[in-house]
Structure 1
Amino acid sequence: ALQAAADRLSEEVLRKRLDYWTFALGPKFSEKERARVPLYRDYSINQVEYCRNFIFQRNAPIHKIFERSCEMGLLNLTADKVTQIFGFRKHKRLRGKFYTMLEKIDHGHHVLRAYAKDAVARMYEKFSTFLRVELCVNRMKDLRLNKGLENLKRLRQILTAATDRFASFEAQALNVPVDFPLFQRLALPVTVGKTKIPGIKIHDTRLLRLMEALLHEGTQIHGWRTAEIHQRITTAFGLAQGAYSLTQLRYDIRKLKAHGLLERQGQRYCYRLTDKGVRVALMFVLFHKRVCGPLANSLFDRRPNQQQQPGSKIEAAYHKADAAIQHILDQLAVAA
């Protein structure tokens, strides 16, 4: 309804209302004065703002996605992209300013701004579920139009196309991975019936061993019984007798079942990971053995020699990560 009302706001409607109010509030002239001077009213557009709202069903994803897209927008919104959005022709004698900036106002809410000549494009959150794309033009000549009210229809067409281009660019920036609090959610306790089951901590060595054992392809075919899982864990990790009992294993299995990571196969007491459990187990195991473990070894134990680096893409990535972390530590030391 609001969009339909805005579309009906044409030049004729505005001129009619402006004529009424200027006659009611403006100065009055006699017939003699009007006969001597050809008086008429002319209306012009000095500043115009045009916006488009994208409405989300819930506010949970919009804030995180928008914050991440702002970071991408600062990198990718170059002068070439900004001129394409506004439809300007870029040349050496172009007046005005071309840059992008990110502001934090109103309790830390982000506002992404892209300036071009005397125009500005903004994108920000509104009312928790609105993502607003907004254009503000302060000089009509930048759009090759004069200030006359008769150019309102053409101005609306130009700004509609500009918001489409801006929204298309931001659609690519919004298609980014954001922070998902997986470890934080799993660490919270869950209630099954009247029993409160503790959460799954990322540093729980027993659960890490159990997840790694359950990732074996044999469990996904017919499942494993508790005794088989216990034997595999003690054998694979070289645990002494009594270091990990069947009672402890049953407790850990119960915890995984309560969090929806483990399931029984039919009526048999054979267990295997659910689809969610496979993804969670991979995250836990890979984080410790392929991400956190190697990087922590370089920081606290021994850093591998860069002169004898193996010809592996994974090892090259580890060396780059080590250098990046060391650079951050150096910058923090300088700032302190």
Structure 2
Amino acid sequence: MERYFRHAQPDQAVAIIKAREPATIMTAIGKDDRWHLELKWRWVDQYNFYVQDSRWGQMFVRVCPYFPFSARVCLNQHYWLALRMQERGIRFQQCANAFLQCSDPETLQKLADSLTADDLLTCAQKWLTRFTPFFTAEERKHAGVQHRLFFAQVEFCDNLIFRRRAAVDALEQRLLDANRSIGQPNKLTLIFGRRITRHHAGKLQTVIEDMNLPNPVIRSHYRKGFLKQYVRDRFLLRTESATNNISTDYGIGKAVANLPQLRQKLNGIIDRYLEVQQDILETFVDHEELRQLTQPTLLPNGRRIPGLKLDQPRQLALMHSLVRFCYLAAEGTFTTRDLYPQTLQALRRTPEEYKLGSLRYDLWKLRAKGLVEKIPHSRRYRLLPHGYQICLVFLKLYEKIYAPLTAGILQPFVADESIPKEKISDLDRRYTAVIQALDDLVEAVGLKAA
């Protein structure tokens, strides 16, 4: 449709496409003098209007010609923002759904925040009135004959703009690697701001899609919504949250008047997602603090609780479950029964080998170190922000440093020696370099293997 918009005038319909699609229509049921109306789901011809609006730029309206004339209006705030900046004489460079350059970024942000529900309603009602000319102005005024508008699908994105493609590629690869390991991406629950219960319905996972394409997509599902992250237009790392049902996904009414709450919710989801990724990529813990974590905790009643160990399988499995659920980012809580199945899976044990009471004991050790808190007057717990970071440190040290190096020294894979150096991954080359440096150090200080 792009070529039809190039020379479009304001408030002009540039194209109309007729297509057969499903819609809810009113049908007459009965015979003789006994008839009634029922809503039915039918495949009918619908009309798709592509419009150049004077205030919104490019937009799209789909109208069903059968009563009650259901419709869909698609608006893009990036086009709206471009027109507002043109009115103010602000120079900018637009690239798809992003602004690569802007002479006044502060005004751009203020304009973005200034969008109201009335802006959406005014535009939508203007075109719906034109495309459903079945009622007079008098009927619309006195009988209230008009469309009621609700959010059907919403997308909200954040763009990180890089100057060099190499930098965005490097960051993307680190994010892909982190989502493969920490948090178990095929089971991960991520940061959608609502507590997960046993009544949850719909998808609840993070997957890495389109691995055969130049830019794979990290997609996290939650009920009818999802959050995805991918590279767009060479220099953009886009994080985008979307939903097809804001009521079930976020607990917000579908009415357009709820735009402020919806925008705040979607913005919070993206912020928490990026914060969690930053914790995964860069985690810092003071040396003295790490030493204290390994020491036993003495309670006021004199009871002594063991410290945290780097290579303790039960503890690492529990940390995997905590990170996998990401209750910190979800602003939710959990019970020990919530964690139990995932901890068993990470530990690769049966319920007979690792009982629920053992998990509660392991969780107690994390509580003693101030990583997890118990919600007063309940059986629920919360992983604290500091606790989330500590869990990541332990998992990183064990899975990325301790375990690979130990395996490379004690049980090297013989076939690796025949692989050409140019075909070895960058990460494996670094592990090999560390092992070689350790061998050189041992020889230099005069130590020999028995």
**Structure with the higher helix share, 1 or 2:** 1
| Bigger strand share | 2
More contact order relative to length (CA 8 Å, sep ≥ 6): 1
Q: TM-score, normalised by structure 2?
A: 0.38
